[in-house]
Structure 1
Amino acid sequence: MPVPCHQSPVLAGSVTLATLGALVLYLGKPSPYGKYSNSLAPGTPSLPASAAWFLQELPSFMVPAGIFAWQPHSLFGRPETVLLGLFCSHYFYRTFIYSLLTRGRPFPAWILFRALVFCIGNGFLQAYYLIYCAEYPEEWYTDVRFSLGVFLFILGMGINVHSDYVLRQLRKPGEIIYKIPQGGLFTYVSGANFLGEIIEWIGYALASWCLPALAFAFFSLCFLGMRAFHHHRFYLKMFEDYPRSRKALVPFIF
């Protein structure tokens, strides 16, 4: 049977996520991987992009899946299980599909370690709350927050997956050149992949209606939103013919 819920780790983890998001906004500097890896000191230890993405995303799938595996079968079909399934579905894609297909630059080892710690902590926080703390009524399936949240999650994941596909097609295997992405939401924004993921986690937060999910959505908005802004600025500097009508993250607005 599930053990009694202790809210202190849930509160502490949520505050930590929100604080990290605020810190990202305050610093306003791009993490030195991908397009910005040139700012790294020569000789910085790094891993191939595929291996790095696989290792850092794996805990976000395995930790929740492991926690759920120890629970009684009575949780199957409950809203808590469905919500945790949404979370795991995103990270199944990131771990076992995106990481194997990516054609990015080598990934700094110290950033991998930092991301690994974050993914372990966030995966544990989301799963711990849903399995041990959340108590959704059966009517939650018909609640507008759940229905709209799941719709937004699926919509955002579709945008994210399609945008990743568009970006992969810009390069042949082994290439490291940059080109202007075209098609899909890239017609309107530079960070279409980031917008899709932000929509996912806003949908997850709405469907879950809980503090840990809200904190993660806020962190994602801050981190990925700033990443989109830096990508937009990068494209404008690199390409003289870059579409001036494109925004960084939100079509027609920002």
Structure 2
Amino acid sequence: MIDFHCHLDLYPEPAKVVAEVARTGMYVLAVTTTPRAFEGNLRFAGSNRRIRVAVGLHPELVKERHAEVGLLCAAMARTRYVGEVGLDGSPEHRGTLATQRTVLRTVLQACRDQGGRVVSLHSRMAVQGVLDEIEDCGFVGTPVMHWFSGTPEEMMRASRLGCWFSVGPAMLSSKKGRLLASGMPRDRVLPETDGPFGQAQGKPLAPWDSKRVLPVLSDLWDMPVSAVSNLMTDNLRRLVS
């Protein structure tokens, strides 16, 4: 099992979640919302090599925490993974878009200058802006569009720019999400949950709930569930190798 975007530290009892992740042997990318949370997540992960910790600065927090972008860039020396970063153009955060773009540009340039990183990207109501920053920066490593909610045309542009996509049960519960997933490049898709923010039937998704994407993708791609599962594993191996 793979969960390529979840917030381990934001579960009510993260130690129990980490213990279950270890018991099942699944691979988890633990994203963080601030650079200071990165240290705490490293402690949660401990010696578990199948939990990788990303350093991030969530766009919803940029207004109060934008000065921490230097901490984020410095922490990149200790991880191959960056996230959650990006832009949020929803009404409550639209007023900080200029600052968000400055932060994202700084982060992507640091990724480029440090040889590339795997970057988990938030792009709610701001896909074009995120893609513009990726394109302007050039090589940043591997951008991964988390919970992509743009248009099919924006998805095609992201694909041309070399982006990957992480999809979860919450995204695939909508008609639009399934339509987008049906057209994604299958060799650049990974499962996620966005737990505990991602929910199903009103309950937060746990990392192991990422397996719920398999039958949905099986139906959308007309592939056996076992073949989809093997493909997700192969995709992960290519990405992290």
Q: TM-score, normalised by structure 2?
A: 0.30
Question: Higher strand share goes to which structure?
Answer: 2
**Which structure exhibits the higher relative contact order, with contacts defined as CA atoms closer than 8 Å and separated by 6 or more residues?**
1
Larger radius of gyration: 1
